[in-house]
């Protein structure tokens, strides 16, 4: 079981490294197509892959449930590699738009990896596995931006060829996925009952996932010009951009020793809101580092709580579709965040995305409190084997 988890995490890391390192430098890469760093295009193209993933996630989830979750993971890796090849050779902006759309349409590696893991794990074990897939994503966010910043500094004329080189990583993941065990057969269980009040037990999770992801992502697209006021090297900006994810990496192994992690979604959202507000009052690099640290602690708590709730609500026989729906919530949040950040920066300032982040996190906290008071804040599904 451990070897299977490690192989899935490696596949997801290679895909996440490919995808998550580029957005920070997207405004700079778009200059090759005649687009300025503060242009609304940066936010729009940042959102495009998420739009396509959100539109296709449910369909790919049904594909995974019907034809195999390992096959769905392999499909996502192949699609990502092809999209990055097209972006790397794009002769014009319309061509690049098609490549970024394909990246989202054929992607969805996180949902595919989580769906595959749900075949082998349940309950608390699955919750920990979901935290580890986020661990691989945070590791990619920690390592990819500084490394790509170093590449852009050492090879300032590499431009869009960066996409072309990154296409090899998901292909390596595809080769690794060939060693994964084949899917085990799972039959629908008509006797499983949902122990939750309300008509849609995943609606709360979908809403929380949307607000949580919006609070995180809305601060990403324009962090480069925001941090350039205090930091004057691209590599250093990449380090500060990744710092909250280092906090997640360092604390997660210790965090897994605690129980009742679902209850930490609320304080996690509150800490994210406080950290976002702190970003609007930065006086220098040390203050920025402290705010990024608090942001990272909030991410750890919120993710851990959300994943524990999700693992207790997933049904194995249609987990692909359910993970696709939850992933779609995160992607729609990315869409809204990218468009919102672009509009806010163009019409107001580089600080307003942090105000939007705090607002979303506080709304999520309020919804969690209200749903808990109604007795439906913690979704559980009983299963019989």
Which residue in 335, 327, 298 sits closest to 310, CA to CA?
Answer: 327
User: What confidence category does residue 384 fall into, taking pLDDT thresholds of 50, 70 and 90?
Assistant: very low
d(CA 254, CA 248): 10
Strand partners, 381: 194
Poorest-confidence range of 15-19, 44-48, 95-99, 185-189?
Answer: 185-189
**Does the pLDDT value for residue 356 go beyond 90?**
yes
Better-scored residue on pLDDT, 81 or 242:
81
**Other C-beta atoms lying within 10 Å of the C-beta of residue 157:** 7
Better-scored residue on pLDDT, 206 or 9:
9
**What per-residue confidence (pLDDT) applies to 142?**
77
Contact 210, 330 (CB under 8 A): yes
pLDDT in tens, 4-60: 888 888 988 998 888 887 877 787 788 777 777 667 777 678 778 878 888 888 788
**What per-residue confidence (pLDDT) applies to 323?**
75
User: What confidence category does residue 187 fall into, taking pLDDT thresholds of 50, 70 and 90?
Assistant: low
**What per-residue confidence (pLDDT) applies to 316?**
57
**Does the pLDDT value for residue 361 go beyond 90?**
yes
Signed CA dihedral, 321, 323, 327, 329: sign only:
positive
What's the mean pLDDT when you consider all of the chain? 80
d(CA 167, CA 171): 7
Better-scored residue on pLDDT, 256 or 327:
327
CATH number of 2-373: 1.20.1250.20
Contacts for 128 with CB less than 8 Å, ≥ 6 apart? 256
**Does the pLDDT value for residue 219 go beyond 80?**
yes
d(CA 192, CA 174): 35
**What per-residue confidence (pLDDT) applies to 273?**
95
Report the percent of the chain where pLDDT is more than 70.
Answer: 85
**Does the pLDDT value for residue 377 go beyond 60?**
no
**What per-residue confidence (pLDDT) applies to 215?**
92
Report the percent of the chain where pLDDT is more than 90.
Answer: 16
pLDDT in tens, 51-93: 888 888 878 877 887 888 888 888 999 999 999 999 888 888 8
**What per-residue confidence (pLDDT) applies to 98?**
92
**What per-residue confidence (pLDDT) applies to 329?**
83
Q: Determine the average pLDDT of the residues in 307-311.
A: 77
d(CA 324, CA 117): 14
**Does the pLDDT value for residue 194 go beyond 50?**
no
Q: Determine the average pLDDT of the residues in 136-164.
A: 81
Please tell me which of 154-163, 238-247, 345-354 the model is most confident about, judged by mean pLDDT: 345-354
**Does the pLDDT value for residue 296 go beyond 80?**
yes
**What per-residue confidence (pLDDT) applies to 3?**
77
Q: Determine the average pLDDT of the residues in 213-232.
A: 83
Better-scored residue on pLDDT, 65 or 171:
171
């Amino acid at each position: 079981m451990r070897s299977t988890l490690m192989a899935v995490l490696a596949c997801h890391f290679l895909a996440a490294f490919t995808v998550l390192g580029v957005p920070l430098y997207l405004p700079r890469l778009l200059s090759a197509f005649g687009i300025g760093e503060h242009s609304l295009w940066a936010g729009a193209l940042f959102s495009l892959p998420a739009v396509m993933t959100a539109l296709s996630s449910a369909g790919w989830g049904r594909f995974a449930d019907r034809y195999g979750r390992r096959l769905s993971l392999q499909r996502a890796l192949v699609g990502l590699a092809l999209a990055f090849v097209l972006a790397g050779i794009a002769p014009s902006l319309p061509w690049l738009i098609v490549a970024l759309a394909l990246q989202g349409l054929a992607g969805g590696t996180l949902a595919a990896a989580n769906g595959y893991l749900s075949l082998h794990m349940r309950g608390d074990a699955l919750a920990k596995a979901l935290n580890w897939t986020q661990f691989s994503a945070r590791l990619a966010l920690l390592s990819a931006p500084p490394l790509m910043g170093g590449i852009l500094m050492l090879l300032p004329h590499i431009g869009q060829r960066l996409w072309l080189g990154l296409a090899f990583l998901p292909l390596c993941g595809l080769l690794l996925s060939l060693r994964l065990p084949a899917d085990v057969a799972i039959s629908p269980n008509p006797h499983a009952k949902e122990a939750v009040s309300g008509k849609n037990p995943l609606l709360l999770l979908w809403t929380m996932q949307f607000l949580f992801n919006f609070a995180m992502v809305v601060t990403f697209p324009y962090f480069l010009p925001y941090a350039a006021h205090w930091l004057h090297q691209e590599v250093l900006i990449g380090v500060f951009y990744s710092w909250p994810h280092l906090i997640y990496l360092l604390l997660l192994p210790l965090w897994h020793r605690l129980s009742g992690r679902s209850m930490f979604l609320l304080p996690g959202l509150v800490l994210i809101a406080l950290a976002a507000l702190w970003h609007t009052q930065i006086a220098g690099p040390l203050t920025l580092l402290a705010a990024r640290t608090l942001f990272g602690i909030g991410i750890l708590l919120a993710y851990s709580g959300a994943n524990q709730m999700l693992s207790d609500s997933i049904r194995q026989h249609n987990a692909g579709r359910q993970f696709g729906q939850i992933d779609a919530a995160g992607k729609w949040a990315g869409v809204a965040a990218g468009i919102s950040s672009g509009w806010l920066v163009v019409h107001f300032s580089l600080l307003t995305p942090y105000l939007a982040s705090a607002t979303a996190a506080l709304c999520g906290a309020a919804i969690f409190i209200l749903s808990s008071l109604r007795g439906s804040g913690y979704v559980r599904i009983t299963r019989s084997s």
